[in-house]
Each structure stands twice: as structure tokens, then as C-alpha cells.
A and B are shown apart, each in its own frame.
Chain A
Amino acid sequence: MKNAWKYVFAFGFALSIIIPSLVLAQDSIKVGIILPTTGEKAKFGEIEKKSFEMALEEINAAGGANGKKIEFVFEDDTGRPDVARAAAEKLITKDKVVMLGGGYGSSETFAIAGVAQQSRIPFLVSTGSDNKITEMKWDYVFRLNQPVGDYPKALESYLSEVVKPQTAAILYENTNFGSSQSKVFLETCKRLNVKVVMSEGYQSGGVDFKPLLVKIKQANPDLVYMISYLMDASLLMNQSMELKVTPKLFVGGGAGFTLPEFAQNAGKAANSVFSATLWYQTLPYPGAQEYYDKFVKRYNMDTEYHGAEGYASAYVIADTLKRTKALTTEDVRESLSKTDMMTVFGPVKFVSYEKMSNQNQLPTYLVQWIDGKLELVWPKDTATKPCVYPIDWEKAWK
């Protein structure tokens, strides 16, 4: 008699697995969005998620896709590629989404792209930046944002026209993002005839960067290029200030260096630091400034290029779904590939260049922290303030 309970339990358990998969489909178009909403990349994931949500509200209020509501099913990849993979598979097999969006970390994005390609589900990458993601000749994978190889492009012209450095040092965090960008910058230096005196990786999350910074101080390069996320960036600048490391300029490779928290945490050590960036709210793209203002007003927090990527992606997704007649994944892919529109992030059209395909091609920019605010300084014609160069470190660090 006791054994009977065992079977009842097992049966109930089996039912609880089977029933949910029989839930009737709803009459909205489902799109899966994978972002890191917990873990160390949570801050960016949150900004992107809120941007996606804000855009979706506007899109659905304006009629969705030909009258049908669009639904974003968010999954948290926790900043780990294996979780990202599983999340993608769940969205595809269980939620039956017609396309995927999001993809923050490069490793995670890569993993998701693999799944998307294999399952023939179109995937619009909004942030993952490793060039490799669009170099695989995967026809189901498209990318809105600039690849990491393009990050230093604005910096390149700035260096060759204004600074003309002889030597450079590269510091990068030992992740996909950091390593790939460091390689790209090495190429840039080769092109500009800049001697790279030092290129070193480090584990993120460290307490003490002095071993690296002391070496840099000794090598005394003209330019120090750093690729880090937020907290490492703050510590690096703080400790550079402590050790009095004074190259001609410090340049960050985006990510941590463009967040407002960087200035908060690094304080005066953030002054005059440059950074590459992919977008800025004063750029002459329709809706860019409005997006920024709307976001700040509604969520009471700052947004930057990651948020813009999310917001623009949402609109590209909506536009694609609007142009798709039958909602099969092949048709969605077809429509996505034919995208040709303007967004707050810039124009979106998928082309092939260098070794990449299905890649949107956009310029990149240079920003600088001036008096505690992030200003666009290069190219000159889009600048909000003239750059501060040469830098008087005594003054900057007072």
C-alpha cells in the first residue's frame, strides 16, 4: 500500500512535466531576448532590458506588427555561456520564439549564435562584439552593433591627426572582450607605426594592479590603452593616480570607461580619460536624444551605448516582423536580411565587409571625461566639447 504512493508521486511528477508543454499558444508574436540580468554584467543587462521594454511598449502601442502584439520573452544568461546556450534552447524549443535578440557578452553571444544557426532561428545580436560572431558565415546570425575590430577606428584617426604617439602600452582583462580588442588595437598600432612596449592581460576582479602599473610607469609609453569593465577600470585609474603614472593620454576601450559610475568610483582619477564608444546621445540620429531623456526620466538612471543598442534592436525586430508575411523562421530571416532603416543607434543595413557577413557597419567615436562629464570629442564635427589635450595631470588630479 505504501508503494502505491510512490507511483502516484511519480505519475504526478510526470504530469507536471507534460502539461505545461501543452499550454495553448497565445496570439502574440514571441521573440526571445537573452541578457545577463544577474551576475557581474547585470548592470549593463539591466540597462538593455529596460531599453528593450521601453521600446516594446512604444511599438505595441503603435499597433505592434500589423496589428499583432509582439512579446519579448526575456531569459537571464547570468553572464555564463553555458547558461546562455541553455536559455537559447529553451526559448526555441519550449517558448517557440520566431527569432532571438540580445546577446551581451561575446562568449555568451557566440554560444547563442551557434544554437540559433543550428536551429535555423534568426538571431539579431545587439551587443556581443567579438568579430568571430559574424565571421562564421552563419546566415541566421545578424549583428546590429559594431564589432570589436571597429572600436578603435575613431581613436585611430585622432591619434594620427592630433596625438602622434611613438609608444603605447595595452592592458586588457583576460576575457573574450578584452583579448580580442587588445589584438585589434595591436593591429591599429602597427598601422600607425606605434611601438607597443607592453601588452598584458590580467584577471578581472583584482584588488591590486600595481604590478602592471609600475611596469608601465617604468616603460613610460605615450599612450596607455585599457580594456576593462567598470570596477577594474576605476581601480586602474585610481592606482595610476596613486603611483603617478602619467602617459600622454589614457584611453579606455569602451565598456567600463563610459559608464557614469566610472566617474563616481574613480573620482578625479577619471578626469581627462578618453574612451572609445559606439554611440552618444548627441549624435544626429533621429530620436537619439529623446531616447536618452525618456530613459533617464523614466528609470532615474543613466543610459549609454548598450541601452541604445537594445532600444534600436527592438525597433529592428519590430520592423522585420512587420515586413514578414508568413511567420516562419525562414521568412523572418529573409526580412531581417533586407533591413534598411534608421534607428536611434544609427542606420541599420546588413552588409559584408572584411571577413564578416550580415554585419551592420557604423562609425565609432571618441569620448573624454571633462569635469566629471562624458563629452564627445572626436570626430570633430560631431564633438560636444573640444578635447583636452595635451593633459596637465597635476591639474586633472587635483
Chain B
Amino acid sequence: MEMFIQMLVAGILIGGVYALIGLGMTLIMGVMRIINLAHGQLMMVAMYITFALFQFFDLDPYFALLVAMPCLFLLGVVIQKYFLNPLLKIDSVIPQNQILMTVGIGIVLTETIRFIFRSDYKSVKTSYSTATFMIGNISWNVPMFVAFGLAVLLTTGLFFFLLKTDTGRSVRATAQNKDAAMILGINAEWITQLTYGLGAAMAAAGGTLLLPIYYLFPDVGGQFTLKAFVITVLGGMGSTVGAIMGGLVLGVAETLGATYISMDLKDAFGMVIFVLVLVFMPGGLKTLTKV
């Protein structure tokens, strides 16, 4: 029983980190219907920024967050403005050009970083990297706990942004029907750029918070892109609360599956859930709530 609780805790904590990564993706997918295959790479860039700040300026990752997020926001806006928006004007047989563009961007980002930093594994060792606190016999990892807390914070922030602010409502309007939004005077182009930027910033948060407990190399992004998809679909495209729930479900499912079935198939569990959700509950967990 104790093992189960410990694993549940571990799953929830890692789920928090996952949720952050999924948050950005769900925003991008919800508004623009683009499968952003560069998502993991955006996260990776943020991780390297954090690493560089730690390496050269001794800046703690939690503070680096305040630098990495705006940087990635800008990067996201640039990508959307110069690479993705122009594609909308091109008529071609395959509408999925945007996805492939993100593939290309992802590769370029990875290789640029590899050129600057080489392929070596890098890590950031902080005083709290392996810090834990115990509740009874259950160990709670501190950095993951902080990441979880921040995920909740950011989700709440995003939630209110989308619901209560004008810009946020414009985002939701554009997501629902771009043309109608434009007719109503919303600058849809700018909104898409803003959204991609926000998505990138969220990914940055996920990466920065992940760095103290993991490590860094140019190809680190790929696996997280996949996780982000699972969370997005699981939670429901465009739903911020869905992303948190999706992250938690994924984290717990992976951890419990790894413990009781097979550690080897850990990543497969996520994929299987993904397919099941697509087939049986395509709207995601969001459909279970009204949000």
C-alpha cells in the first residue's frame, strides 16, 4: 500500500511538469489547429538558455524562468509571423504544410543548439536538485513539487487571461472561427502570433523547471513533444484545465503502469491512452466538464 501511495505521489508530481509542457501545446493546437512538432525543441531552447544563464551568470533556474519565458515568447511570435502565417496563403494539395514547417523548424533549432553547445550532456546542479521532504514514509521531490505548484499557478493565470481579458477572449474567438473573428475586427494575424508565443513561453516554463531534475542535450525535445500531444488530446484541445488534468492522468498512468506492469513499456502507456482517447472520447476530458 505504501508503495502505491509513493508511486501515486511520484506520478502526480511528474504530471505537473508534463502539464506545463502540454499547456503550451493545447493553446497552439486549440487556436491554430497546428500540430506543433517543434514544441519539444522550443522547450529545449529554453533549457539551454537557462543552462547558459546558470553556467555564466550563476543565475538560479527559478529566476532564469523570468528570462527564458519572454525569450521564447519572442521566438514563438517570430516563428509564427515569418514561417507559419505565410503558409496560410499558399494553396496546395496537402493542407498539413504547417506541420511539416514545424518539423523543419524543430530540426534547425536542434542543429543550431548542437552547433553552439555540442552534443554533450549538460546538467544543472542546484542545492535543491535532489532535495526531498518526507511525509511519513513517502518522499516528495522538492523541485517537482515546485514545478507542480507553478503549473497550477500558470494554468490559473492562463485560464483567467482567456476568460476575462479582451485579448484572451479574442484568442478564444479566433479559435472558434477565424473568419468571423476577423469580421468582428480582431486582428487574427496578431492573435495567432501571440498564441504561438504564449505556447512557446509555456513550453519554456516546463523546460526550465525540468532542468534541475533531468539533464540536457540537443535531442531532448522529441520525447516531450509526444507527451505534449497525449496531454493535449487527453485534456481536450484548447482547454487549460484539461491540460492539467491530462498531465496528471499521464503522469500517474505512466508511473503506475511502470511499477505494476513494466517499466520498459512506460512510454507506450501514454501512447495507448492517447489512441483510446482519440477513439472513444475525442473531445478529451474537457467534455466531462463544462470548461
Binding site for B on A (CB under 8 A): 38-40, 42-43, 174, 200-203, 205-208, 210-212, 214-215, 218, 230-231, 234-235, 238-239, 241-244, 261, 264-265, 267, 269
Contact of B125 among A208, A214, A265 (CB under 8 A): A265
A241 and B120 within 8 A (CB): no
- Give the residues in chain A near B123, CB-CB below 8 Å: 231, 234, 265
Binding site for A on B (CB under 8 A): 3, 6-7, 10, 14, 17, 114, 118-121, 123, 125, 129-130, 132, 139, 141, 210, 213-215, 217, 219, 223, 255-256, 258-259, 262-264, 266-267
| Complexed CA–CA distance, A231 and B130 (Å) | 15
CB distance from A262 to the nearest CB of B (A): 11
Contact of A265 among B141, B215, B259 (CB under 8 A): B215
- Give the residues in chain A near B125, CB-CB below 8 Å: 264-265, 267
Most B Cβ at <10 Å: residue of A42, A242, A244: A242
Contact of B10 among A39, A208, A264 (CB under 8 A): A208
- Give the residues in chain A near B121, CB-CB below 8 Å: 43, 230-231, 261, 265
B263 and A211 within 8 A (CB): yes
Given A202-B263, A210-B10, A38 and B3 contact (CB-CB distance below 8 Å): no
Contact of B132 among A202, A212, A242 (CB under 8 A): A242
B130 and A214 within 8 A (CB): no
- Give the residues in chain A near B256, CB-CB below 8 Å: 211
Listed A/B pairs (8) with beta-carbon separation below 8 Å: A43-B119, A203-B264, A207-B213, A208-B255, A210-B10, A214-B10, A242-B130, A267-B130
A174 and B130 within 8 A (CB): no
- Give the residues in chain A near B210, CB-CB below 8 Å: 207
- Give the residues in chain B near A214, CB-CB below 8 Å: 3, 6-7, 10, 259
Given A214-B3, A242-B130, A38 and B255 contact (CB-CB distance below 8 Å): no
20 new A-B contacts, CB < 8 A, other than A215-B259, A230-B121, A231-B123, are A40-B219, A43-B119, A43-B121, A200-B262, A201-B263, A202-B263, A202-B266, A203-B264, A207-B17, A207-B214, A208-B255, A211-B255, A231-B121, A231-B215, A234-B215, A241-B130, A242-B130, A242-B132, A264-B125, A265-B121
- Give the residues in chain A near B264, CB-CB below 8 Å: 174, 200-203
Given A200-B263, A234-B215, A244-B139, A207 and B120 contact (CB-CB distance below 8 Å): no
- Give the residues in chain B near A174, CB-CB below 8 Å: 264
Given A201-B264, A203-B267, A244-B139, A211 and B258 contact (CB-CB distance below 8 Å): yes
